[in-house]
Structure 1
């Protein structure tokens, strides 16, 4: 059996348009297990993924929470990294993860946030996100969440929610310990901000958070989110 230091779990759904671009830059290595969990793609996502040295599996159930949990159930390493496809990891990400999880009181971690768009507006966005992540102990899934496998199991995995599964998980995790922020940043694609604009994207995100804390049915929140994306 292969020995893996880290298992990287990537949920996908109809990502053929960007899959090759991001996986072609991925730092594959023998001690890194990459599990691509498909949520029922109807495009060429699965066929394109077969060209890379990764474990491509269909999720038994649709939904990102189910995909992440299924990938974690297959993972063979002691450290899990939950990663969005449209992100680029820092070159020393593995050392960063080990260092962050080794800090006293840290139960899980995430990377600092950086977006691949130019302009002062996005530099301000990065500063705000990193401040929120550190001051409020509240990173989001697009920052690459990582945790020891035994801790993830003890937390019960991600909730079976149609949206906000990363936010809910972080809330539970930080009730048991600190969410450490790595020294380096993950580079996130700005495609959503380019499509919707910074103000509209931020507004949609805040509506989701407020709705979640107001106890609105997550299924309704997911419907609002999709409507917001369509405009």
Structure 2
């Protein structure tokens, strides 16, 4: 028996990236699957692009966690797959999800960073190893979860940063994540714009403070103070930091 996938994509002013993602995603899905795009009041062509390529286009207040929860609540599939608009995927990822066993499972994919910087393979490998050791998945890794399990734990916590880490902590109480090998390609534009070593150090600092109990709202302000690139993206209102 195959899993029916509901792919949930939160967006805010992501028209160019969504235009690249949706046709590729559609080619790799089956007729029984669905693509749900949840818009957080975009001011560009995001909605019109989504209407051309998605099965459902929903609207709610911006905030990545809020948008993903909203999409999950209206999903029909038995397996939820959360993607970012800049996700790089191949047919291997949907195929790997197709025949997962039934039950309250969850997990993520390995990743590699897009680009030719010599440190990118090391960073990607470290992200994959860290995720296996800690049982923590991040949004860039294409988190998937049984829909009933997701609803049972209450979905993504409504916090402005590291909501994926918080969800992982909740899901770990129900079992270890499945760490699937097909690698998703992570957009590395922020690493390149702000400096690879600077980004690594910033993320270590934020994660350490988060595990020490710092307020996610304060960490969100620190991240965008140090990474202020002027983008109006979902991360600014409810998002994730790279890695």
Is 1:69 equivalent to 2:69 in the alignment?
Answer: yes
On the 8 A contact 1:138/1:170 being kept in 2, the answer is yes
Question: C-alpha offsets along residues 197-217 of structure 1, whole Å, 9 cap, x if unaligned?
Answer: 211222232232122222222
Pick 1 or 2: higher relative contact order, CA cutoff 8 A, min separation 6: 2
Q: State whether residues 11 and 36 of structure 1, in contact with CA within 8 Å, keep that contact through their aligned partners in structure 2.
A: yes
C-alpha contact 1:6 1:79 (8 A) present in aligned 2 = yes
The reply on whether 1:185 has 2:183 as its aligned counterpart is yes
Large movers: runs of 4+ above 4 Å? none
Question: TM-score, normalised to structure 2's length?
Answer: 0.85
If the length of structure 1 is used for normalisation, what is the TM-score? 0.89
Contact 2:3–2:79 (Cα < 8 Å) also in 1: no
**Does the CA-based 8 Å contact 2:3-2:97 persist in structure 1?**
no
Match of 1:94 in 2: 94
Contact in 1 for aligned 2:104/2:146 (Cα 8 Å):
no
Looking at secondary structure, tell me which structure has more strand per residue: 1
Gaps of 5+ in 1: none
Q: Does 1:58 align with 2:56?
A: no
Kindly indicate whether residue 112 of structure 2 is the aligned counterpart of residue 114 of structure 1: yes
> Please, which runs of 5 or more residues in structure 2 have no aligned partner?
230-243
Residue equivalent to 1:47:
48
State the secondary structure of the residue aligned to 2:105.
strand
CA distance in 2, matches of 1:146, 1:133: 14
Q: Is 1:21 equivalent to 2:20 in the alignment?
A: yes
Judged with a 3 Å threshold, the aligned counterparts in structure 2 of structure 1 residues 142 and 49 are, in CA distance, closer, same or farther, namely same
8 Å CA contact retained: 1:5, 1:32: yes
Distance 1:49 1:149 in 2: 23
Q: Cα RMSD (Å) of the superposition?
A: 2.2
Q: 1:98 Cα deviation (Å)? A: 4.5
| 1:32 corresponding residue in structure 2 | 33
Query: What count of residue pairs does the alignment treat as equivalent?
Result: 226
2:72 match: secondary structure = helix
